[in-house]
Chain A
Amino acid sequence: MTRTTTRLIEDLRDPANAVAWSAFDERYRPVLTGFARVLGFMPEDAEELAQGTLAEFAFAYRAGRYERGRGRLSSWLIGIARNVGAEMRRRRGAHRGGGDSVIAELPQVDAEEAHLTRVWAKERDAAILVEAMAKLRASTRMEEHTMRAFELVALRGVPAEVVAAQCGIDVDSVYVIKNRLTKRLREIVRELTTAYDEEV
């Protein structure tokens, strides 16, 4: 059962709860990395920003600086990411002082709040889809041709007749697989979305 974000935040109160911190990291690192990529960070810089943000969050949370009543977790993380991005820019700028053109200039994380929130939500949805797909794959691990047929017909737009030939099944089975797995995927996505949502 996927833990809700609210429950996760409660569990984080115990600094020694490695499972909770690990789950938090797993949930938000991809979102932060994707968030930074959309804002124009290169892959390595995006990972650095995600790492910096999570580290800063852990430090601030343990110091008791996060109050749930004052806003959503996502807003707080966006704020931290903004500060970490600014700090990275400042440090990188200092390095570039010597005219080192190899170090790329970092983009600014200073877009308006609404835009950042939209980007965050989109990345969160993408992370949910990845997690959902992994869960779906895990639940159909013993039936590789089933997963393959689903991929081809539902995700790649390959005609059902071609999929049937490639997977060695009949066309009706292709449609049955498509609808069975899509339904299961919808359920997983719904469950994860509920879990990711914060009960402020």
Chain B
Amino acid sequence: MDRCPSPAELEAFAVDDAVHPAIAEHVARCDQCRQSANEIRVNHQFIANAGAGLAAAFDALADWPTAAFVHPLPPSGTVPGYELVAELGRGGQGVVYRAYHTDTQRPAAVKMLLAGALASSHQSRRFRREIEIAAGLRHPTIVSVFDSGATTDGRRYVAMEFVEGEALDRYVRDKLPLKRRGTRDRTTQIMGLIRSVAEGVGYAHAQGILHRDLKPSNILVDALGRPRILDFGLARTAETPHGATITQEFAGTPAYAAPEQFVVAFGPVSIRTDVYSLGLLLYIALTQTHPYPCDGPMAEVSRHVVSTEPVPPSRLVPRLPGDVETIVLKALAKDPARRYASAAELATDIEDFLAGRPISARRDSTVYVLRRLAMKHRVPTLALLLVLLAILGAVIGLAVLARGLDRALSDSMVHRPDSSAKPAIPPGRNHCYGRRRSMRICRPTTRWASGGPPRPCGRRGRSWSSTPACRGCCGSRVIHPLRA
């Protein structure tokens, strides 16, 4: 061999030189190639010695997606008309590849079931339905479907528009990070993003389609900052009776599911279920945190989704406008009836906020909040009510007792004839004052001595200090501040 071997040839030679006599002969003569071959062998040995430790060390690197790339691509020609070039993502049932249309060179994303021809009929039906649903939607915020068919190994595939972008949560984290001092601009941009998503979802609703699995990873934001909705894998038509997927299995992602997806008592899955998910997207984008703990077992997550009230976003985002909080909390209401009636209504409210117009959403009334609290904490509320009732009873009892005592004391003092001493009249009586420095008007007392009721003179008196006694204005013998 006259020329130096290529890196691939040299690698093959260095690892097993016995089967490459021509290269061996060249390497024996070429210092540079010999040095390179030795280097390759040392590297090979290093990797072999480090073993799994190297891969483990690599896995310990933060923010490095690895798992999806260890699967080899299907052979060329598997998807008729498309050349698969890289794996974009892999889920529990499907895999998505980056691809090019072989004739037009148009970039595309090709999705197919993982289990391929062995996929269960249920999976196949669901995938077929996803394709049908997505193909029927034409909206700038929804990823379009180009075509679909069967691969050479019997898998059903769908070729979609390829969106070069980031998932919503990553986009917000990188491009719109939450700072210590919240900014109006950041809020406006996030509200704009979610408005676009809500418009797309509203369009799907108008076509009779529910998404049912809206979450940050299903929203891609392209280089121009435009959001695109992906993955209608769990979508269903609004008129379909919610039997098949809903009663047989949980449909959706627990951390992003609405209360009614867990508990039938909240009512059927409906348009308002997607509204809840949009509220969740908005909450997470604004606060960069989930409103409830969502990394535990499903039962724990469902308990939070069903009964834990979200922390008001204004506590997490400084200077968050009140209208934004109102919009978020309305979309996230546990009771579907208290949410926006549709995604379009939510989009309109966001639009109104962005335009500086009044929004339609109103905060929950204090009575409603108190009632919810009472419903949530039934036992403490009942105990508190009992305590309050007991206190009220005691107060009333004491008042009645005091009134009886007062009456008895008053009678005993007023009925004493020709008393020249200052009578002990209970303070507060209209006719018999305590020592108050105020102008008073002589009015009839409720108690009087024998001889009939006193006649009020109606004269205005001076202060007590300068008017030692009432002398006959109303026939009373008690001392009071009115001058006769």
Chain A: how many interface residues by the 8 Å CB criterion? 34
Report the minimal beta-carbon distance from A193 to chain B, rounded to whole angstroms: 12
Q: Which of A11-19, A101-109, A167-175 contacts B (4 or more CB under 8 A)?
A: A167-175
- Residues from chain A with a CB closer than 8 A to the CB of B40 are 179
Chief secondary structure at chain A's binding surface: helix
User: Contact check: which of A129, A168, A173, A182 meets B57 at CB < 8 Å?
Assistant: A129
A166-B87, A179-B40 known; A126-B57 Cβ under 8 A: yes
- Residues from chain A with a CB closer than 8 A to the CB of B36 are 179
- Residues from chain B with a CB closer than 8 A to the CB of A186 are 42-43, 46
Q: Which of A26-74 contact B (CB under 8 A)?
A: none
Q: Which of B1-37 contact A (CB under 8 A)?
A: 6-8, 10-11, 36
Report the minimal beta-carbon distance from A200 to chain B, rounded to whole angstroms: 26
Does B375 reach chain A (CB closer than 8 Å)?
Answer: no
Q: Which of A82-90, A91-99, A147-155 contacts B (4 or more CB under 8 A)?
A: A147-155
Q: Are B47 and A182 in contact (CB under 8 A)?
A: yes
Does B367 reach chain A (CB closer than 8 Å)?
Answer: no
Chief secondary structure at chain B's binding surface: helix
Which residue from chain B places its CB closest to the CB of A137 in the assembled complex? B61
- Residues from chain B with a CB closer than 8 A to the CB of A160 are 8, 11
Does B64 reach chain A (CB closer than 8 Å)?
Answer: yes
- Residues from chain A with a CB closer than 8 A to the CB of B54 are 129, 133, 154-155
Q: Are A166 and B8 in contact (CB under 8 A)?
A: no
Q: Are B46 and A182 in contact (CB under 8 A)?
A: yes
Q: Are B72 and A133 in contact (CB under 8 A)?
A: no
Does B354 reach chain A (CB closer than 8 Å)?
Answer: no
Which residue from chain A places its CB closest to the CB of B60 in the assembled complex? A130
Q: Are A165 and B7 in contact (CB under 8 A)?
A: no
A154-B47, A156-B70 known; A137-B56 Cβ under 8 A: no
Q: Are A126 and B53 in contact (CB under 8 A)?
A: yes
- Residues from chain B with a CB closer than 8 A to the CB of A152 are 69-70
Does B39 reach chain A (CB closer than 8 Å)?
Answer: yes
Q: Are A156 and B55 in contact (CB under 8 A)?
A: yes
Most buried by A among B40, B50, B56, B66: B50
Does A125 reach chain B (CB closer than 8 Å)?
Answer: yes
Which residue from chain B places its CB closest to the CB of A138 in the assembled complex? B61
User: Contact check: which of B6, B43, B53, B73 meets A172 at CB < 8 Å?
Assistant: B6
Q: Are B69 and A126 in contact (CB under 8 A)?
A: no
Does A158 reach chain B (CB closer than 8 Å)?
Answer: yes
Q: Are A179 and B57 in contact (CB under 8 A)?
A: no
- Residues from chain A with a CB closer than 8 A to the CB of B11 are 160, 175, 178-179
Which residue from chain B places its CB closest to the CB of A147 in the assembled complex? B64
A154-B47, A179-B43, A183-B43 known; A133-B70 Cβ under 8 A: no
Report the minimal beta-carbon distance from B105 to chain A, rounded to whole angstroms: 14
Q: Mark B133-149, 1 if CB is under 8 A from A, else 0.
A: 00000000000000000
Q: Mark B416-460, 1 if CB is under 8 A from A, else 0.
A: 000000000000000000000000000000000000000000000
Does A195 reach chain B (CB closer than 8 Å)?
Answer: no
Q: Mark B186-214, 1 if CB is under 8 A from A, else 0.
A: 00000000000000000000000000000
Q: Mark A170-200, 1 if CB is under 8 A from B, else 0.
A: 0111011011001101100000000000000
6 cross-chain pairs, A with B, having the tightest CB-CB distances, nearest first: A129-B57, A182-B43, A175-B7, A133-B57, A172-B7, A130-B57
| Other A-B pairs beyond A156-B66, A167-B86, A168-B85, 7, CB < 8 Å | A125-B53, A126-B57, A155-B58, A160-B8, A165-B85, A168-B86, A183-B43
What are some 14 contacts across the A-B interface (CB < 8 A)?
Answer: A129-B53, A151-B58, A151-B64, A156-B66, A162-B72, A165-B73, A165-B85, A166-B86, A167-B86, A172-B6, A175-B11, A179-B36, A185-B46, A186-B46
